Every structure is written in C-alpha cells, then in structure tokens.
Amino acid sequence: MKLSSFGKKLTSGSGIVGLMEDLGSALNENPEMIFMGGGNPARIPEMEAVFNNQYKKLSADPEQLYSTTGVYQSPQGELGFRRDIAVMLKNQFGWQVSEANIAISNGSQSAFYILFNLLAGQMPDGTFKSIHLPLTPEYIGYNDLGLSEKFFTGSKPDIELIGDHQFKYHVNFDELSVGEDTAAFCVSRPTNPTANVLTDNEISHLDQIAQQADIPLIIDGAYGVPFPNINFVDAAPHWNSNTILVLSLSKLGLPGVRTGIVVASKEIIQAFSSANTVINLASGNIGPSLTRELFASGKIVELSKKYVQPFYQQRSQQVMALFKQTMSDIPCRIHLSEGAIFLWLWFEGLPITSEELYQRLKQRGVLVVSGHHFFAGIDHQWPHQHECIRVSYVQNLNAIEQGVKIIAEEANIAYQQG
C-alpha cells in the first residue's frame, strides 16, 4: 500500500497514537497493568449517578430519544444546547456571547484539528504560518494535528525551583516573540501534561500580545473553568472576542460521548462550522442531550465544584505525598500540582532518556508517558525534555502505590547504572 504524505504523517508513530494504544490495551485488554498513562478520567460515583439519571430520562422520552439518535443536527450543533451554554456563560461570567458564538464538535481533539488548520499552514499568498505554544511542555495531542511540517513553534519556559523537590514553569515573556508567521497562540489551562495553571497575569499578558499582533489566543479548557473545574489554585476564567476557548465534556466523566464545545467570535464559529460540515458532516447528539438540562440549570458548574474538583485535588495530594515519600533519595522534582489529573516528574540528570524509562516501566507492568512527546516546536537537543515523565493518578490508590514504588525502583536503577 502506498500512502500519501498525509497518510505517512498520521501513521508514523506519533506520541498520541502510542498513548491511546496503551490506554486501550490497559483498560480493555490487560487490566492487570498499572495504568498511569493516558487521560481517561476517574470514576466519580456522584457524577455517574447524575449521568445515569440523565440516561434514564432520555430513554424514557421517545421523542427526545429520536432527536438524539435519529436525526442530524446542524453542523454548528443543536440550537437549544448552544443557547443554554451561552446563557450559562453570560450569567456566570458576564461574557457577551450568544448561540452564534458557540459550536459543538466531536470531541475537543477534532475541534483543534479544524481550528489549527483553519488558521495556520500554507496561506493563499504562498506564505506559511504556524501555531505558537508560549509555554512548552504542552498537550501531546496537538503535535500531529497540523497538515504541514513544522506546523508548531514553541517557547521554553522559565523554571522556578521550589524547595528541594518541586518546581513550576512560567511563560518566559523575555524570549516570547510574535512574527509575521505566527497564526495564533495556544495554551492549555490547567496545562496537560504538567498540572501547571497559568496565572491570571500570564493569561492577561498573552492576551495583550495576541491582540496587538492581531492573532487569536486559543485556550484549551478541557480541565478548567467553568467545567470540569479541575483547578486547585485561583484562576479567573478568560474570554473575549479575540479568544477561542475550547471546552470538553470528557473530564466530567463522559469521554465516550466525544463532545467538545468551541466559544469564539461569530466569524470563527462560522468558519469552524463550515469546515466541520466537510470533515464530520455533523456532530454527535448524545453528549448534548445528556447534559443540556445541566447547562440550562447551571448545575454543570455546581457539580464540578462539589464533586469533580475536590476528588482530584484530594487524590493529587495523596499521590504527591506517595512520590515524595518514595523518592526522597532520588534527584526528582515534581511540578506543583495546580490542576488537571496528572503529575509531572523531572528526573534531573537522568542517565537514560525518558523514553527508555517508559519502556522499562512498561516491561514491569506500569504505563506512564515519556515527556519528550510534549515539547512540540522545541529543539530536541534540550536535555530537560528527555528527563520528564507524565503520570496519571486516577486509578485506585492501591494500584497507584504499587506503580509509584516501581517508578522509584527503576529510576534508582537508572541513576546507579549511569
């Protein structure tokens, strides 16, 4: 079989493909694996009870069930659902949005594929534009979404050392520059993979630079406000007409419904909807049908604050304590856990690469993600990017405790052999 350039790009062993293969294997085929890799959310009983109740209501209403499974909605998404989202955002944050500022996608990954390629790549005048990541490491799933090579550029962070075993990344504004080839900024907040939350000042500064350069600021809010609100530090929500905010139902506990939400200017939404028609024809109805009542009532925000955020914050603290106790004699720093569902470990001066550490851990039944996948647009000669791993802490604590011990053992072996 001969593949096109597009085909070769998408089949050449990208990090996100490997991560999802590991995820599928661990969750469906090899449940004995200690899964500390991909971003599957935890099972939160209170949220499952809410969704089960919504399922029952949906299945008990033949007309609603038919509109969910038997008809296409518009490419922009079901009108009533978009209106409910807009009203909630307006009431909660005072944002001047309507249903015309909202579009639905088949998951946020699909949304980013469309948005990135609408804005960047080969331009009609023959020039080339790229998406700039102002703070790397950044989400692994972005890396291969661009249809052109060298689609992303990235900025190395400032690294603040905190105590003996922690650190935090900050945007290095002194080195951040915007050229004519920059199509947009993109940041995740909280940041996948590092659990970093960009400060309000950092977001404000990025927004100011973006507006001066007349480029959009894209914010990936899959873990952030207003839902699922997996924030452990204060962080004000941000949106204006120059912002493209991408939200998701996944981390509420609904990854299987594949529902993303784009909040942007009317012009961006119109372009997005046209492209979504070509690529997906229409977006799925199940996610919007299950959650529309929660958006209309504002309960989506209440549930996030009451159940989702506290669950992950407590779990983060528990697993952080396990790592600190187990790795006290290893030169390992952990990024401040400010949000999301991961911990980011930096093994300073690691004698092997993070990829090799990943392979060794996999052989011992522990799945993590090698950090080098998260540095899109960065020079691969930077040692730091080969000294980090991302670990998820959503499995049960007994399994995580075993995983932490094995990670510590393998890291210690690597340092001794080095």
Domain 73-298 has CATH 3.40.640.10: yes
- Taking residue 156's Cβ as centre, other Cβ atoms within 10 Å add up to 18
Cα separation, 386 vs 371, whole angstroms = 6
Give start and end residues of each alpha helix (H) in 74-160. Answer: 79-93, 108-119
Residue 17, pLDDT score: 60
Q: Under a CB-based contact definition with an 8 Å cutoff, are residues 234 and 248 in contact? A: no
Output DSSP code: residue 374: G
Cα separation, 259 vs 303, whole angstroms = 18
Residue 383, pLDDT score: 94
Residue 20, pLDDT score: 56
Cα separation, 358 vs 347, whole angstroms = 13
Task: Tell which phi-psi region holds residue 214, choosing left (phi > 0), alpha (psi between -120 and 50) or beta.
Answer: left
Residue 346, pLDDT score: 98
DSSP of 183-214, one letter per residue? EEEEEESS-TTT-----HHHHHHHHHHHHHHT
Output DSSP code: residue 120: S
Helix, strand, coil % in the chain, rounded to nearest 5: 45, 15, 40
Strand segments, DSSP code E, in 268-382 are 332-335, 342-347, 366-367, 369-370
Residue 3, pLDDT score: 72
Strands lying side by side in the sheet with 166-170: 158-162, 166-170, 332-335, 342-347, 388-392, 369-370
pLDDT per position in the chain (418 positions), as tens?
Answer: 777 667 676 676 655 565 556 655 555 556 678 999 888 999 999 999 999 999 999 999 999 999 998 999 888 999 999 999 999 999 999 999 999 999 999 999 999 999 999 999 999 999 999 999 999 999 999 998 999 888 999 999 999 999 999 999 999 999 998 999 999 999 999 999 999 999 999 999 999 999 999 999 999 999 999 999 999 999 999 999 999 999 999 999 999 999 999 999 999 999 999 999 999 999 999 999 999 999 999 999 999 999 999 999 999 999 999 999 999 889 999 999 999 999 999 999 999 999 999 999 999 999 999 999 999 998 778 999 999 999 999 989 999 999 999 999 999 999 998 6
Cα separation, 301 vs 87, whole angstroms = 13
Q: Where are the domains of the chain?
A: 5-47+303-417, 73-298
Q: What is the pTM of this model?
A: 0.94
Cα separation, 248 vs 262, whole angstroms = 9
Nearest to 171 by CA among 202, 193, 137: 202
Task: Please state, in angstroms and as integers, the Cα–Cα distance from residue 335 to each residue in 24, 159, 196, 243, 325, following that order.
Answer: 27, 10, 7, 27, 16
Per CATH, 5-47+303-417 and 73-298 having the same topology is answered: no
DSSP H helix total and E strand total for the chain: 13, 16
Q: What homologous superfamily does CATH list for 5-47+303-417?
A: Aspartate Aminotransferase, domain 1 (3.90.1150.10)
DSSP of 245-290, one letter per residue? EEEESGGGT-GGG--EEEE--HHHHHHHHHHHHHHHSS--SHHHHH
